[in-house]
Structure 1
């Protein structure tokens, strides 16, 4: 029969045992915290502005890929095989609709996508091209959006609709996180309401007759409709539409006759046409507007809120000749 001698429990052994137990507790807490912050679902957004809105609602529960990144033009986007694979792996894909992403259906088919598709413009009454009385410049259409103007995000009220639809889509894809998504959407909607009030206040003191702006393509119809500004553009609602010589000449005459002071290039557009119009009218371009894309993280418009504030500041200063 074997006899064992009890190992004496010394203060040192007690200390080491307590230290080991503390380490296990700390590791467990760290693992739980890491699990809590791990994204729950994979999502894809069509372009940078929509990507920002999805991030505001999804927070750290959503691993998001954006197909058309900052500074790129969604009108002429051509998806790569790698992006098709990203779409195929996603649980939810967000797009604007209204004809903006003419390539989306082909991409979903190529990717064999079986997940949830959320069209964030659902519930928005679309504007028809030219319905906002922006301009009649005789531009010639290439592969553009037809009669519907897809740039609905330029009216902040529509961005609130986007946010609601994003929250609904995320709740459907990840019911466990629904309270998280609803809370984020509510907080961000309050910021959008404050932004809308800020934009209206910025224009309030400027006479309607003075609110005339020239831009590269017809991307600001919803802004015009919401905030009482007249935009004229040599191109239509798509950057793929071509400006006709007759239309440009007509626009040059109008700028001279109406003494329009605000002439802008867009961050996604070739500036040469606007620079030509500037030379012919003697109006110096007032800067750059962000129409269909955010800037990168280090630029002046890395978020939707920043973009709308930047555009409004540039526009209101330019129409006043500042």
Structure 2
């Protein structure tokens, strides 16, 4: 037993000796590692951290940052391609918002979680751009037009046109429900880009002039495309669109005085159109002499194909307009931009209204 104890003690002494021999190097390595970690942490802390809840917001932020984007950490929450209406934030997403300098989100029914995240962040330095709030009186209330299949998930009644203007609160003091798809207006986009530039300038005053100049240059591109949309709508042979799908383009048709009929509202969770809805849309296509039926990206075209088969000619094209609601990181890496998507939408619109 004694021999065993001595052996153990010897081993401990040898181990201690080895530890002492290495202590100088270990201390040096630890100090070096600590310094490197502190430098990395300091560099990370110096970065402006921006979190975006939609692709348009992400792209606008990158445009406003310009050359300064490399010194910022910009996070796009929906990079896995999930639809904005289906997104549910993870614990990690909420943590990113809590640590951010700027959070840009829609502010509609689909992301009520965002307001809760901002309140729970406990970050007094957190700046926000709530898109709907930024639009002020230019925000449009949701509406149900003739023939539209109301979403059973909504427990309120909608009015449209003059009725909506006369009865915003539905006579019962209910909160108004606004259409969330504010980014699908090039005119709105200019307002929102300005709002982002202002917040970035407040966060990073040293580069505020650069952010403002970048915003102005980008807004000029948006304004030019807006003019092209207006000219196309004015020169078109038709003034009405038929969507055999959800309809998130209320702001776009409002900008250019266009009319529309659709199967569902923009935020609807419905996927099955009733016989009455299909028959109504098919008749509208016939009555208006339209050569196309529209859907949004990601549609399986089932409703559109059924509408076409119920028209007299049965030869209408099914065209796709991009609502930018489910853009993935892969799309971004491939070069997708807000401006490019809206240019593509213009080409589709010109065909649909021909």
- TM bucket normalised to smaller: 0.7 to 0.9
Aligned to 2:332: 297
Question: 1:52: which partner in 2?
Answer: 59
Return the alpha-carbon distance in structure 2 between the equivalents of residues 62 and 185 of structure 1: 17
What does residue 318 of structure 2 align with? 286
Per-residue Cα deviation, 1:288-315 (whole angstroms, up to 9, x for no partner): 211133471366x811111111011012
Greater radius of gyration (CA): 2
CA gap of 1:228–1:69, structure 2 versus 1, over 3 A, is: farther
Q: Deviation at 1:89? A: 1.9
Alignment of 1:143-292 (within 5 A): 147-207=177-237, 209-241=238-270, 245=274, 246-281=276-311, 282-292=314-324
**Does residue 346 of structure 2 align to residue 312 of structure 1?**
yes
CA contact 2:53–2:105 (8 Å) conserved in 1? yes
| Contact persistence 1:138–1:244 (CA under 8 A) | yes
SS in 1 for 2:341: helix
Contact kept in structure 2, 1:141 and 1:236, CA below 8 Å? no
Residue in 2 that maps onto 1:12: none
TM-score normalised by length of structure 2: 0.70
SS at match of 1:75: coil
1:160-218 Cα deviation digits (max 9, x unpaired): 100111011111222222112111111111111111112222233213x4543325212
Q: CA deviation at 1:123?
A: 3.6
1:128 aligned residue:
141
Task: Pick closer, same or farther for the CA change 1:290–1:316 going to 2, 3 Å.
Answer: same
- Count the aligned residue pairs: 282
Q: Distance in 2 between matches of 1:92 and 1:144?
A: 34
CA distance in 2, matches of 1:232, 1:102: 28
- Who is 2:9 aligned against? none
2:130 aligned with 1:119, yes or no? yes
Question: Quick one: structure 1 residues 98 and 80, their matched pair in 2 at CA, closer, same or farther if it must change by over 3 Å?
Answer: closer
Given the superposition, is the C-alpha separation of residues 185 and 141 from structure 1 closer, same or farther in structure 2, using an over 3 Å criterion?
farther
* Residue equivalent to 1:65: 75
Residue 47 of structure 1 and its aligned partner are, at CA, apart by: 0.9
Moved more, 76-85 or 179-188: 76-85
1:84: which partner in 2? 94
Output the TM-score relative to the length of structure 1. 0.76
The superposition leaves residues 131-173 of structure 1 with CA deviations (integer Å, 9 ceiling, x where unpaired) of 8xx6541322425997421212222111110011101111122
Q: Which has the higher helix share?
A: 2
Contact 2:107–2:115 (Cα < 8 Å) also in 1: no
Does 2:50 correspond to 1:43? Answer: yes
> 2:49, 2:73 within 8 Å by CA — same for their partners in 1?
yes
CA RMSD between the two structures: 3.0
Q: Which residue of 2 is the match for residue 8 of structure 1?
A: none
Structure 1's consecutive aligned runs of 4 or more residues displaced over 4 angstroms after TM superposition are 109-114, 143-146, 241-244
For structure 2, list consecutive stretches of 5 or more residues without a partner in the other structure.
1-41, 157-175
Deviation at 1:269, TM superposition (A): 4.0
